[in-house]
Amino acid sequence: MNAPVVFEGIGASPKRKEDLRFLSGRGNYTDDINRPNQTYAVMLRSPHAHATIRGIDTAAAAAMPGVVAIFTGADMVVGSLPCGWLIHNKDGSPMNEPGHPPLAQGKVRHVGDIVAVVIAETRPQARDAAEAIAVDYDVLPAATSMAAALAPGAPLLHEGAPGNVCYDWHIGDLAVNQAAFAQAKHVVEFELVNNRLIPNAMEPRAAIGDYDRTTDQHTLYTTSQNPHVIRLLMGAFVLQIPEHKLRVVAPDVGGGFGSKIFHYAEEAVVTWAAARVNRPIKWTADRTESFMSDAHGRDHVTKAKLALAEDGKFLGLHVSTTANMGAYLSTFATSVPTYLHATLLAGVYTTPTVYAEVKAVFTNTVPVDAYRGAGRPEATFLLERLVDVAARQTGIDKLELRRRNFIPADAFPYQTPVALQYDSGDYQSTLAQALKTADWDGFEARRAEAAKRGKLRGIGISTYIEACGIAPSAVAGALGARAGLYEVGAIRVHPTGSVSVLTGTHSHGQGHETTLAQLVTDRFGIPLSQVDIVHGDTDKVPFGMGTYGSRSLAVGGSAMVKAMDKIVAKARRIAAHLMEASVDDVEFDRGTFRVAGTDKTKSWGEICLTAYVPHNYPIEEIEPGLDETAFYDPKNFTYPGGCHICEVEIDPDTGICSVINFTAVDDVGRVINPMIVEGQVQGGVAQGIGQALLEACAYDASGQLLSGSFMDYCMPRAGDVGTLSVATHETLCTHNPLGVKGCGEVGAIGSPPAVINAVVDALRDYGVTHVEMPATPAKLWHIINSGRRAAAE
């Protein structure tokens, strides 16, 4: 086999292998799949935020044309949709963990809660019948906001959660923390909201249940980021189907951003019902259902205090957060405001003591769970706003204040006061590079020029860190995780030398089919076209934990490296046999086996063929074949970080805030495919700008979702993002074999505070210290208008 003419290994930017099918409409999404004799399900959803169900009359609906079956909670008595992370209260007691039945059991707790499923020959027939179901609701008062849920006498969502509290958790040493505040020269206090977001993947969720009664085999096709996790959760906890009788397929998935990690009710409903009706059942959400049933993100209210010495050194941070869980515990909801949020509150700073307490609250809203960044954006927004507020209060320049408190580049590994140990980073360098790219020093001239045009120009910065590839399993387990956090990679070398990689991660837009293949190309020296990535099918891939938390390369890629190590070790033994040399003398470098110091070589293709045609082969010592599997459990998180700078202009007449320039310099560790990294960061930044300026999930007091469509929920468009400059500055991860850190979430984590810091800077003459997200035109106009009034009075 010839070596590739064009280098396609680590550091190259070949075009994405998957894009031909995506861009030509040939992707294979769940809704594209049709099974013989398939029926269609429509979920009847609650129009009320909180109600008891006095009765459900399905008789008229059942008699309608095409109806195959109708099931309610009375029919489907199964296990609860599980929560994957047990959090303990301050007093050591376990959190309140009320059940989440797939179909409502006598009570509905949010608009969109599923009351019944109608299965019919066609989707319109199922919809007609769903409208004919008469549900007798006794509507109860709703608690939509956390304040309402925590108020005395608030409506109680769950018998098992008094006061609507899920848990009241903390981390850090309070006494040490209080002592730090006693020493402080300055104490900066601050309150903020991290706004609730609706993820809105381009592809709505869908699920097909299929059952073969001759083999008792269940198959679920679903829009999931982690099919093995769904198989485990649904099989073991909800439906009691053993793994060997349950196949979960997650084919092409059109975006997830976390919202497709979780095990959703509809997956269990179609799997369970398919066996009951003995026919395949397809359910596909329409966009309205997506708004009211996909897990939402963020939704924190936080009070923070920062203690500073006279020279601006941070002495201590105290954070009190309430976090909205929504009506039920979604799969990983409980871990987001705790271990994915509070553990990041040291940020990139040497703050010696951090104490954080988090109260998680049930409300009559859609469940909240991980959404791109998950906890880390909330921590970053809080910290990076707080540092700006502290700079203003102390009179220390905001860059200088950051520099004085950065963890120095020579201090790694660095143990934070909130459990994490950072392995590498270089915050002064990412800052310096971003300042230069953004022409920070030229800003005041640009501001003056904008003022001549009647515009308010502002610049904002965020120096952030995040944690990816959550691990190790044993530590997470000790903290309450109910899953392993390793990944699986199987390298199947075929007789002619091409390779299929079976990975437990899942690509739903990230470009794994290209990036992961580049690892193989780089190691084995075979062209990218000779490597295929297989994912998303529990019958093909041995096992896996899926894709979330920017883990695919750092954890999944590392598993592949381990498996490739095994392949190379075995291949060297075969080569040694063929070349009559000692294994220790056989070197392998990108496609060529060589006896060290000689011109004796064997090619990759020769060794692969020999492994499968073992005529001249050390058959007594090693088995034929080249097919190895590895499980990789990371030693630590990875810690991407960097610097984001945003420059905005506000039109004071309308309040419209335009992003003019956005600069991102991110340390994502070793970059495998720079083009894909750039795209990942661009997408993340666009979502961060969306959170900062546009996206507002709004409920009214009765629990109706006011932002229930794109008419009212504002997603970022290309024109909202401004000119985006993305660069990387590498420091390598020290504990995984690739040195990679992850790039999927950095954009969404680092950007919101940069945007809001820029907005606040633009409004510096209006007496503003903070603007809550999203900074909509109406909100900014009111601030400017009242600022004008204040100036006039």
Cβ-in-10-Å burial (0-12, 13-18, 19+) of 720 comes to: middle
Closer residue to another protein (CB): 598 or 786: 786
Q: Say how far apart CA 576 and CA 299 lie, in whole Å.
A: 60
Query: 589 phi and psi, to 5 degrees?
Result: -140, 110
Q: Say how far apart CA 462 and CA 341 lie, in whole Å.
A: 17
Q: Say how far apart CA 17 and CA 535 lie, in whole Å.
A: 14
Contacts with another protein in 437-456 (CB under 8 A)? none
Q: Please, what is the minimum distance in Å from the beta carbon of residue 653 to another protein?
A: 5
Determine if 785 is a binding residue for another protein (CB under 8 A): yes
Determine if 778 is a binding residue for another protein (CB under 8 A): yes
Determine if 712 is a binding residue for another protein (CB under 8 A): yes
Q: Please, what is the minimum distance in Å from the beta carbon of residue 778 to another protein?
A: 4
Among 8, 669, 776, 783, binds another protein (CB under 8 A): 776
Q: Please, what is the minimum distance in Å from the beta carbon of residue 287 to another protein?
A: 10
Q: Do 128 and 291 meet the contact criterion of CB atoms below 8 Å apart? A: no
Instruction: Please identify, among the stretches 373-381, 519-527, 680-688, 772-780, the one whose residues bind another protein according to the rule CB under 8 A.
Output: 772-780
Determine if 653 is a binding residue for another protein (CB under 8 A): yes
Determine if 713 is a binding residue for another protein (CB under 8 A): yes
Residues in CB range of 214: below 8 A, 6 or more apart:
none
Closer residue to another protein (CB): 174 or 778: 778
Closer residue to another protein (CB): 181 or 781: 781
265-294 mask for another protein (x: CB under 8 A)? -----------------------x------
Q: Please, what is the minimum distance in Å from the beta carbon of residue 476 to another protein?
A: 39
Determine if 711 is a binding residue for another protein (CB under 8 A): yes
Q: Please, what is the minimum distance in Å from the beta carbon of residue 782 to another protein?
A: 7
Determine if 183 is a binding residue for another protein (CB under 8 A): no
Q: Do 118 and 42 meet the contact criterion of CB atoms below 8 Å apart? A: yes
Determine if 696 is a binding residue for another protein (CB under 8 A): yes
Q: Please, what is the minimum distance in Å from the beta carbon of residue 41 to another protein?
A: 17
User: Cα dihedral sign for 253, 258, 261, 267?
Assistant: negative
Closer residue to another protein (CB): 60 or 715: 715
Q: Where are the alpha helices (DSSP H) in 361-471?
A: 376-394, 398-405, 427-437, 443-452
Determine if 216 is a binding residue for another protein (CB under 8 A): no
Residues in CB range of 384: below 8 A, 6 or more apart:
347, 461, 462, 463, 464, 753, 754, 757
Instruction: Please identify, among the stretches 56-64, 477-485, 641-649, 692-700, the one whose residues bind another protein according to the rule CB under 8 A.
Output: 692-700
Determine if 355 is a binding residue for another protein (CB under 8 A): no
Tokens of 390: 């502290």
Instruction: Please identify, among the stretches 632-640, 690-698, 734-742, 748-756, the one whose residues bind another protein according to the rule CB under 8 A.
Output: 690-698
Determine if 777 is a binding residue for another protein (CB under 8 A): yes
Among 782, 788, 790, 791, binds another protein (CB under 8 A): 782
Determine if 22 is a binding residue for another protein (CB under 8 A): no
Cβ-in-10-Å burial (0-12, 13-18, 19+) of 256 comes to: buried
Closest listed residue to residue 49, CA positions, set 135, 173, 139: 139
Instruction: Please identify, among the stretches 290-298, 340-348, 478-486, 709-717, the one whose residues bind another protein according to the rule CB under 8 A.
Output: 709-717
Q: What is the DSSP string of 512-576?
A: HHHHHHHHHHHHH---GGGEEEE-SBTTTSS----S-TT-IIIIIIHHHHHHHHHHHHHHHHHHH
Instruction: Please identify, among the stretches 64-72, 138-146, 523-531, 705-713, the one whose residues bind another protein according to the rule CB under 8 A.
Output: 705-713
Determine if 240 is a binding residue for another protein (CB under 8 A): no
Residues in CB range of 390: below 8 A, 6 or more apart:
186, 188, 306, 308, 312, 396, 401
Closest listed residue to residue 538, CA positions, set 250, 211, 206: 250
Q: Say how far apart CA 4 and CA 521 lie, in whole Å.
A: 9
Q: Please, what is the minimum distance in Å from the beta carbon of residue 130 to another protein?
A: 11
Name the residue type at position 316: G
Determine if 766 is a binding residue for another protein (CB under 8 A): no
Determine if 127 is a binding residue for another protein (CB under 8 A): yes
**Can you give the three-state secondary structure of 357-378, one letter per residue?**
EEEEEECCCCCECCCCCCCHHH
Determine if 781 is a binding residue for another protein (CB under 8 A): yes
Closer residue to another protein (CB): 213 or 452: 452
Q: Say how far apart CA 311 and CA 86 lie, in whole Å.
A: 41
Instruction: Please identify, among the stretches 43-51, 99-107, 324-332, 703-711, the one whose residues bind another protein according to the rule CB under 8 A.
Output: 703-711
Determine if 768 is a binding residue for another protein (CB under 8 A): no
Among 655, 722, 750, 752, binds another protein (CB under 8 A): 655
Closer residue to another protein (CB): 284 or 552: 284
Residues in CB range of 177: below 8 A, 6 or more apart:
316, 317, 318, 353, 354, 355
Q: Say how far apart CA 356 and CA 381 lie, in whole Å.
A: 15
Among 111, 694, 738, 748, binds another protein (CB under 8 A): 694
Q: Do 745 and 468 meet the contact criterion of CB atoms below 8 Å apart? A: yes
| Structural Rg of the chain based on CA atoms | 28
Q: Which parts of this chain interact with another protein (CB under 8 A)? A: 124, 127, 131, 288, 653-656, 694, 696, 698, 706-707, 710-715, 776-778, 781-782, 785
